[in-house]
Amino acid sequence: MQPAFTLGDHSFQSRLIIGSGKYDSIQQNLDCAKASGAELVTVALRRVKVDAPSGENLYEALAQAGFRILPNTAGCFSAEDAVSTAHLARELLETDLVKLEVIGDERTLFPDVPATLEAARTLVADGFTVLPYVNDDPVACQRLAEIGCAAVMPLAAPIGSGLGIRNPANLRIILETVEAPVIVDAGVGTASDAAVAMELGATAVLMNTGIAAAKDPVKMARAMRLAVESGRLAYEAGRMPKRLYASASSPHEGLASF
């Protein structure tokens, strides 16, 4: 079976990536990951105890369940901190994958774009497969792709807001102008948001709160899986053109006369 997409030297079948924060327990996180069909689970290195005992170690539980870990630099507010955290993740987890986050504002959690570009240059040069979280800014995404990032991850809305895609026009421009996989990150609140992202042509969707904060997280994880799959199929099928007026399903020619 051909992979759905690749990130550097890494190939994936599932176009849904999920997070590991805000769950009630490690077991709930595992149950949601399985229901989502995700292969890749992102974990904040600065917020999880890597040396936690067995049974309380999230990394160990995910690895034993067969998931691939995408360490992220959440909680970093400078390029230097993000680079240091990425190197620590590579040493501890033996992966070159890193979701790069450099936060510029603590209240909104919007990224610091200049610092993100600086950190991305360093990490790409150091041999990382860099997946940067960034604003839905076409120019910033183009610059990150030019640096050599394996993908760009524009936000759909502020982290944890559940507002859905606020600016589909910007995402369309990014998809048309960036020569790298585009993974919609942050702001997805329900299945229809994920479907819209995929219908626009996104390579994949990353989400955390949309699943973890649902009334039934496991059921929402399954809904997100189906939404991502159906949205991708709709994108590949190509939607019909929109029309202002009605268009009959049956032709007028050859109508029976009564």
- Can you tell me the distance from the alpha carbon of 180 to that of 176, in angstroms, rounded to the nearest whole number? 10
Q: Which of 34, 99, 219, 242 is catalytic?
A: 99
Which is more confident, 46 or 148? 148
Residue 19 tokens, joined: 């997070």
What confidence tens digit (pLDDT) does each residue in 115-162 have? 999 999 999 999 999 999 999 999 999 999 999 999 999 999 888 888
**pLDDT of 197 over the 90 cut:** yes
Q: What pLDDT, on a 0 to 100 scale, did the predictor assign at position 59?
A: 84
Q: Flag whether pLDDT at 257 surpasses 70.
A: no
**pLDDT of 48 higher than 70:** no
Residue whose structure tokens are 């993000």: 82
Global pTM reads: 0.91
Percent of the chain with pLDDT over 70: 92
Confidence of residue 200 (pLDDT cuts 50, 70, 90): very high
Widest CA span of the chain, in angstroms? 82
Give the pLDDT of residue 73: 95
The pLDDT score that the predictor gives to residue 49 is 66
pLDDT in tens, 56-102: 788 888 989 999 999 999 999 999 999 999 999 999 889 999 999 99
Instruction: Tally Cβ neighbours within 10 Å of residue 199.
Output: 19
Active site residue 22: no
Closest by Cα among 257, 194, 179, 182 to 38: 194
Q: Which fold has domain 15-237?
A: TIM Barrel (3.20.20)
pLDDT confidence of residue 178? 96
3-class secondary structure, 10: strand
Tell me what pLDDT residue 118 has: 97
- pLDDT in the model for residue 199: 96
